[in-house]
Amino acid sequence: MLRKSIVLTILLICAVLTFAAVSGTVAEVDKYGNVHTDIPAETVEEAGFELGDMLLIKMEEESVEAPFVTTYGDVDMGDPLVRVSGGHLMMALNYANFAKTYGLEAGSEVSYEMVEKGAYAEELEIRQLTRTDDREDYASDAIFANFREVTIGEIAPGKLYRSSHPSIEDPRAPYAAELAEKAGIKTIVNLSDSDEEVKEFCANSSFFASIEESGNMVNLNMGVDLLSDEFAGKLKEGLLFMIENDTPYLVHCVEGKDRAGMTVAILGALMGGTTEEVYEDYALSYENYYHVEKGTSAYTSVVNIIKEIFASINDGNPVNDENIGYVAMQYLVERVGLSYPEVLAIQSKLR
């Protein structure tokens, strides 16, 4: 009788782990369109959901399958994902707006069910990238801060730089600020913050504050969806600001990896860079942060991100050395809304 009771208990536990659903509501939609729920991480663990599991997200109007992962780069561009952020379950589209795509807002009801245990585990292992915030784990200040000069194609030395944020409460920020000051940066294109946020951040760096106070910084507070009207409009604002201000320019977001990576890739392609040059510069951020090495599966996954980004602005068609400059030009004119003379002005500034 005891044995039968134990067997029944085990079966009940397995049933819970296999079929348990987790339900809640949308607590917040952030500026990137990522959807944060009121479902605590503890509830997710109790339901038996683990990293690498494939989940079914049920929303009021439709459903979508998504892997349970740790960060956005664990899936391909445009793909959905589920992760824990701030102690609660959230969902997003990599480089896109989940809330707009699926019509969600604060108060919308959502639930999650198991589709297949561990179905994404092997892919997740390939993509898992780790980094530290210890300067001693990196070969130089520049690598630690993801700071570098960009000379893709015809971009002249001393014209364009990119980095992580030089003035937030982050171990990398002081290094980024010092390197930017040494490089003689005159104009900052801040992709990540609003004007209000910058007022607070200026307290962390006198150099950053001096650029802001001189009127030589534009704060774009942009998302990561390259195809959105919001991204295009703010990129236009940033590029027009560059035309009106002097080099050297610094383009940064928080990590200097995603928004800065896309912006610099477009500029590099516009300036005659080859696909290899453009893709390698994009991937260098991952080499800097995560010690990703060329020739590995992880490096290939990173390069595929930027390949897919260029394909997305080329109507889904592949990009090669012959057309990458044209694709960048057409994106800036047709999507961003620059005139041809304004594009030529950008090119003139960077030569």
For the segment 84-106, what is each residue's pLDDT rounded down to a tens digit?
A: 999 999 999 998 899 999 999 99
Residue 25 has phi, psi (to 5 degrees) of: -130, 165
pLDDT tens digits for 273-304?
A: 999 999 999 999 999 999 999 998 889 989 99
Residue of 240 and 61 predicted with greater confidence: 240
pLDDT tens digits for 40-68?
A: 999 999 999 999 999 999 998 899 999 99
- CATH 3.90.190.10 in the chain is located at 137-350
Rounded mean pLDDT of 310-330? 96
Range with the poorest average pLDDT among 130-134, 215-219, 258-262: 130-134
13 pLDDT higher than 70: no
Listed residue (167, 228, 162, 171) closest to 198, CA to CA: 167
Tell me the C-alpha distance between 59 and 47, whole Å.
19
Pairing of strands 187-190, 217-219: parallel
Q: Which class for 81: exposed (0-12), middle (13-18), buried (19 or more C-beta within 10 A)?
A: buried
For residue 170, give every residue at least 6 positions away whose Cβ sits within 8 Å of its Cβ, in sequence order, or none. Answer: 133, 164
144 pLDDT higher than 80: yes
Predicted TM-score of the model (pTM): 0.79
Spell out a b/e string for 208-217, using b for 16 or more CB atoms within 10 Å of the CB, else e. bbebbeeebb
- CATH 2.40.30.90 in the chain is located at 2-127
Per CATH, is 137-350 categorized as 3.65.10.10?
no
Q: Domain spanning 2-127 has what CATH number?
A: 2.40.30.90
Instruction: To the nearest 10°, report the CA torsion of 330, 336, 338, 340.
Output: 0
Tell me the C-alpha distance between 162 and 279, whole Å.
15
pLDDT confidence tier of residue 189, bands split at 50, 70 and 90: very high
